[in-house]
Amino acid sequence: VLAGFLWLIPKSLIFAFNNKIINIHPALLPKYGGKGMFGMHVHNAIIDNGEKESGISIHNVNEKYDDGAIIFQAKCKIGIGDTPESLAQKIHKLEYEHFPKVIEKWIFNKG
């Protein structure tokens, strides 16, 4: 289980642990994913582009950044007065609320 992991996992590990590595991303993938899209970079881009909603994505890890199958997403609205900082707070709330539950369900469903 990864959170805020900024490097690519070596292909040998991806293949050895196929569909057994998950990560959380602070946006609704596939938008705003990829190399360099983490933390405030994501929130700035979302606000700059005038998005009306954002959220979190929990996904399988593969050999590309933020490209694995999506396991779970949760959304939040973006208000007119929201800033990257206020969006980050909303995203953190979603992460704290959902990530532990999704991890638990994922682990026990995987056996």
Neighbours of 53 (CB within 10 A): 10
pLDDT at 4: 83
Q: How confident is the model at residue 109 (pLDDT cuts 50, 70, 90)?
A: confident
* Tokens 């682990």, residue located: 107
Render pLDDT for 24-59 as a digit per residue (tens, 0 to 9). Answer: 999 999 999 999 999 999 999 999 999 999 999 999
pLDDT at 5: 86
CA distance 5 to 59: 13
Render pLDDT for 65-85 as a digit per residue (tens, 0 to 9). Answer: 999 999 999 999 999 999 999
pLDDT at 110: 63
pLDDT at 111: 43
Give the SS3 label for residue 2: coil
Which candidate in 25, 41, 59, 98 is catalytic? 25
Question: What are the backbone angles phi and psi of residue 64, rounded to the nearest 5°?
Answer: -120, 155
pLDDT at 38: 95
Fold of the 11-106 domain: Rossmann fold (3.40.50)
CA distance 72 to 98: 9
pLDDT at 20: 94
Question: Is 43 in the active site?
Answer: no
